[in-house]
Amino acid sequence: MPRKSWHSLPEYQTLRVMMESDTTAAAARRLGLSQSAVSRSLSSLENRIGKVLFERNAGRLKPTEAAVQFNARLDSLFEALDWIDGPTGQDRDQLNIIAPPTFSGRFLAEHMATFMKSHPEYFLSLEVGTSEDVINGIRSDKFDLGIVGVEPNRAGTKLIPFRLATAVCAMQPDHPLAELKVIEPETLHEQDLIALSRRHARRSQLEKLFHESSVAPNIVAEVSSSVAAVELVLAGLGVAVINPFPIANQYARKLVLRPFTSAYSYQSYFAIPENRPVSRIARHFMRHVRLHTPRDEFSHVV
């Protein structure tokens, strides 16, 4: 006679907490249980469904693909339980975000505001840092979600492509180059140029392009972000070759942006931890950002 199927909510809760922890000790602290109780619950669930859910790797438990798939199937169950419980005003799901200044200004502020208005059950936290801070913060599990405009090769993070953009030259509307439709590297010869600092790979790429084209712009300032470059452009210091996303729409009425002829493309990413599944609130926020980011002529969704 076939065994009658049954479900255990405590086992499912243990699984979901373990998906966000890498040891049974950490999961036990969150659940208020003993380590042995957590281990028994996981073993019981594995025996019942006939699949291995976690594998030990360097002293830590890493979820298997079966665990990721099973956990995803539980989303609707726990969302239904949340709906039945109703809002409590406490213990709201929290999303800890980190992003560099280019993204953490108006771009993320506007998305966070509209997201929280439509999802009052969530709580968002935003930290500003360098791209290096973003990757290190995600790797160390201090943050749940990051947004970066570089492609670091770092273990412990997973990058989800977001936008692809082409290089532009930013200038004031009354700048002589604003009359041109496209800016060639040769056009910038002896022009006052605001450049990214030398720690950026784009700086060396641009200098190589200028060298190959026998171009010598007059570098008047160095900055660490496209936002800072744009602000100096607005102050009348010169022009800048930048990544137009996400600032193209933010400065559309103040700046003239012209395509810059080069092989440069700029990829923006969502950064998430590699060793645990994406939380429900992170999935909802990424979807919100994708759906509500306005179009611009220099970038597109990937």
Q: What is the pLDDT of residue 61?
A: 82
Which CATH number goes with the domain that contains 31?
1.10.10.10
Are residue 148 and residue 294 in the same domain, yes or no?
Answer: yes
Cα 282–chain centre separation? 10
Examine residue 179 and state whether it is found in any structural domain, yes or no.
yes
The answer on 246 and 273 residing in a single domain is no
Percent of the chain with pLDDT over 70: 91
Cα dihedral 48, 53, 58, 60 sign = negative
Which residue segment(s) compose the domain that 229 sits in?
168-263
Residues 175 and 246 in one domain: yes
Same domain, yes or no: 36 and 54: yes
Stretch (H or E) spanning 56: strand 54-57
Residue 2 lies in a domain: no
Q: Is residue 3 part of a domain?
A: no
Residues β-bridged to residue 258 = 169
Among 44, 77, 110, which residue terminates a domain? 77
Residue 241: inside a domain = yes
Is residue 124 within 8 A of residue 106, CB to CB? The reply is no
Same domain? For 278 and 141 the reply is yes
Phi, psi of 301 (to 5 degrees): -75, 140
Same domain, 173 and 292: no
In whole angstroms, what is the distance from residue 20 CA to residue 11 CA? 15
Q: Quote the pTM value.
A: 0.67
What is the tally of structural domains in the chain? 3
8 Å CB contact between 171 and 268: no
Higher pLDDT, 242 or 57: 242
∠ at Cα 138 (136, 139), nearest 5°? 65
Assigned domain for 212 exists: yes
pLDDT tens digit sequence for 163-218: 999 999 999 999 999 999 999 999 999 999 999 998 888 899 999 999 999 999 99
Q: Judge if 143 and 275 occupy the same domain.
A: yes
- Joined together, the tokens standing for residue 173 give 């509307």
